[in-house]
Structure formats: C-alpha cells, structure tokens
Amino acid sequence: MKKKKVTLLSPAYNEEQALPLFYDTVAALADNLSDRYEWELLFVNDGSTDGTLRVLQELAARDRRVRYVDLSRNYGKETAMLAGFDNASGDCVITIDADLQEPPSTIPLMLEKWEQGYQDVYGRRRKRQQSFMKKSMSRAYHKLLSGMASGPQLSEEAGDFRLLDRKCIDALCRMRETQRYTKGMYDTIGFSKAPVDYDIAPRVAGTTKWTIGKLMHLAADGIMSHSVVPLRLASYMGLIVSAIAFIYLAVVLLKAIIWGDAVAGYPTIVSLILFLGGFILLALGIIGEYLGRIFLETKQRPPYFVNTITPVNEQTQTAD
Ligand code: UDP
Ligand code: MG
C-alpha cells in the first residue's frame, strides 16, 4: 500500500530566526509519523529581505522532505499561500504559520479527523492572546462580515491553520483572484468541515508581519471580495433619504401655502447639502473600491511570479 502524502505548507516572510526552531519541531513530528505518512515540508519564501532563503536552502540540502517556492517579491500571506497550494504535491495540505504560534502537536488530531473522512479540518483558537482593543475590533469585523456574506457563514475563531484535502486544494487553486481573502474562500468552496481546538502561543522569534495598513487592506478585501452589500447599502440609503426629503417637501409646501413664503432655513440648507454631499462621496468611494478590484482582476495577470521552485521529491517507496 502506498502511503498517503501530507504537505505541511508554511508561508515565510522574514522568518530566518523562527525557521530553524519551526523545522526542528515539525521534522520531529514527521519522523514520528513517518511509518503512516509520507511528508513534504513546503515553504513559500514571500520575498524576505533577511536570510530566510539561505535557511531554506540549507534545510532543503539537509532534508529531502523540504521544498521551497521562492517568490519574486513580497506578495502578502494570502498570495503566498496560493503559491503553496499550486505547488503542494500531498494528498492533503496542512497550512501552518512558520512562527510556531500554531502548535504542530495539533496535527495528529487533524490527521485523525481527515482519516474519518472530513475534508476541511480547521483549527479553532481556544483563547487569543490579544489586547482588548484588537479582540473587540476583530469581533466587530467578523459580525459585520458574516452579516454581509451572501454565502455560508464565516466562523470567527477559525484561521489559516487547517488541514485541507486534495479536493479542497484543487478548488482553491481554481480561484485565481489576485485580491485574496482565503478565510472567506474556505467557506465558499464547501466540503465537509470539522473543528479542532488549539491554544495559540506567543511568537517563537521575530515580530508580527502585520501592520495596521496591511490589516485594513485585508479587511477591505474580505468585505469587497465576499459581498455586494456595501453597494446595495448606497441604494437603500438613497431610498431612505428620498423618502424623508419627500415628507419634508410636503411640510414646506403646506407651510408656504398657509403662512406664505418667507426666506429662511439657511441652516437646514447647509446641513442638507453637507449631508448629501458627504453621502454621495461615500457612495462613490464604495463604487470606486469595487471598480478598482474589477480593474485589477480583468487584467488577468498571474497572481504571483516565481524565482525558483525545488522539484517534487518522488520518494522511492519501500515495500511495506
Ligand atoms: N507572512 C507572509 N507574507 C507576509 C506576511 C506574513 O508570508 O507578507 C507569513 C509569516 O511569515 C507567517 C505567517 O504569514 O508565517 C503569519 O504572519 P504573522 O505571524 O506575522 O501574523 P500574526 O500571527 O501576527 O497574525
Ligand atoms: Mg504569527
């Protein structure tokens, strides 16, 4: 019987300090489970400016399970993961960050669920080590997003730490949009899902790669690539404002008929102009956001460019 192949996929951006520790941990895990599975440790170097590529080259030279995709520049985690999906050769792929925040000790549990037939086994954070601010903002965002999502609901505690069956990977690879929000895509593709709980740990080395700007961008991508509700919002607001304006018009007309036409109402006019002007600009901005995304997608450019890829290692199977 041929062993099933498991790909561990980690995007890495400036992780030269974390990578050796990460490798030691997952290599030990792969060794332990080597009698049941064949392993591929696939890394995507997302345009790192430190020694990440050198570390990956060293690891690949030492361990034939290690492969890496070296991207031509920094594309962000979402696109780096797509590059990983495209090049993973496993029967399932486990996506895991290279900073050991997501405990590899959860992986055997995920594999167990996979063996039971689940195709998308997602890690669910038990508790989060985040500031109150960040936590409540992220909660509010998820409320907003799942309220707007036209498709299935997004689960809040689920992140990118998950096991995906080959079928899921093939589905994700067919979604070639460049403005990616992978967390939403997991729900779009469907397939049978099961959670596995884990505790998130502090980063083992280095610092977080997310800046406020990058997070805002991802948040916008999440909403705009998942829902057209913001566009509809503009029409609803337009309807409401017109209704109020119509009532007000009747009032003004009646007043003029009964008491005559007096020139007054300067404050009303100014506030109306400001309100409507502001609202029209906002609506235009929303349309612009969608239009910009349409512009980027219609060019149909490849989502990323690759510098080097190490070839797939077809391990010679010993009879077992
Ligand atoms: N990452 C990446 N490209 C980026 C930013 C991050 O490949 O532009 C990788 C990073 O190396 C790590 C994972 O994405 O393996 C998660 O990043 P990070 O730990 O900084 O995010 P956090 O855990 O703080 O949300
Ligand atoms: Mg992290």
166-174 and 182-189 helices, crossing angle to 10°: 120
Given this model, what pLDDT does residue 155 score? Answer: 64
Calculate how far, in angstroms, residue 201's C-alpha sits from the geometric centre of ligand 2: 9
Query: Which of 84, 40, 83 has its CA nearest to residue 59?
Result: 40
Between 212 and 52, name the one with better pLDDT.
52
The H or E element that residue 67 is part of is: strand 66-71
Percent of the chain with pLDDT over 70: 93
Asked if residues 37 and 276 have their Cβ atoms less than 8 Å apart, the reply is no
Given this model, what pLDDT does residue 182 score? Answer: 84
Contacts of 10 (CB under 8 A, 6+ apart): 22, 41, 42, 43, 44, 84, 95, 96, 97, 98
Residue 261 has pLDDT above 80, yes or no: no
Q: How far apart are CA 207 and CA 45, in angstroms?
A: 16
Asked if residues 59 and 23 have their Cβ atoms less than 8 Å apart, the reply is yes
Look at strands 92-95 and 37-45 and give their pairing. Answer: unpaired
Asked if residues 194 and 118 have their Cβ atoms less than 8 Å apart, the reply is yes
Asked if residues 196 and 113 have their Cβ atoms less than 8 Å apart, the reply is yes
**Mean pLDDT of the residues in the chain:** 85
Residues with CB under 5 A from ligand 2 (ion): 97, 99, 101
Q: What is the DSSP letter of 106?
A: G
Query: Which of 18, 198, 179 has its CA nearest to residue 100?
Result: 18
Closest residue to atom 24 of ligand 1, CA basis: 208
Q: How far apart are CA 248 and CA 235, in angstroms?
A: 20
Calculate how far, in angstroms, residue 128's C-alpha sits from the geometric centre of ligand 1: 16
3-state DSSP assignment of residue 44: strand
Between 182 and 54, name the one with better pLDDT.
54
Give the amino acid at 216.
Answer: M
Asked if residues 18 and 205 have their Cβ atoms less than 8 Å apart, the reply is yes
Calculate how far, in angstroms, residue 283's C-alpha sits from the geometric centre of ligand 1: 33
Q: Ligand 1: which of 14, 23, 97, 198 to mutate, most ligand atoms within 8 Å of CB?
A: 97
Query: Which of 126, 138, 108 has its CA nearest to residue 200?
Result: 126
Residue 41 has pLDDT above 90, yes or no: yes
The H or E element that residue 7 is part of is: strand 4-12
Asked if residues 148 and 229 have their Cβ atoms less than 8 Å apart, the reply is yes
Residue with token string 């409320």:
143
Given this model, what pLDDT does residue 170 score? Answer: 94
Percent of the chain with pLDDT over 90: 39
Quick check: CB of 165 below 6 Å from ligand 1?
A: no
